[in-house]
Amino acid sequence: MDFLRILFVMSIFIGLIFPAVSKAVAQMEAKRILILHSYHRELGWTDNISQGIDKKLKNSPYSIETFTEYMDTKRIFDDRYLENLAALRTYKYQNKKFDVVISSDDYAFHFLRHHNRIFNHTPVVFCGVNYFKDEFIANTPNFTGLVESFGIKEAIEAALIIHPNVDKIYFMVDGTVTGKANLKLLNAVIPEFKDRLEFIL
Name residues whose C-beta falls within 8 Å of residue 41's C-beta, 6 or more positions apart in sequence: 47, 70
Amino acid letter, 114: H
Q: Indicate the pLDDT class of residue 176, thresholds 50, 70 and 90.
A: confident
For residue 20, the model assigns a pLDDT of 54
Is residue 101 within 8 A of residue 34, CB to CB? The reply is yes
pTM equals 0.69
* Mean pLDDT value of segment 99-118: 89
CB atoms within 10 A of CB 86: 15
What Cα–Cα distance (Å) separates residue 47 from each residue in 52, 136, 172, 179?
A: 9, 26, 23, 20
| Residue 108 clears pLDDT 50, i.e. is over it | yes
Burial of 102 from C-beta contacts in 10 A (0-12 / 13-18 / 19+): buried
pLDDT tens for each residue of 121-169? 899 999 988 878 888 888 888 899 988 777 889 999 999 999 999 999 9
Ordered structural domains, the chain, with CATH: 22-147 (3.40.50.2300), 152-200 (no CATH)
| Residue 22 clears pLDDT 70, i.e. is over it | no
| Residue 178 clears pLDDT 80, i.e. is over it | no
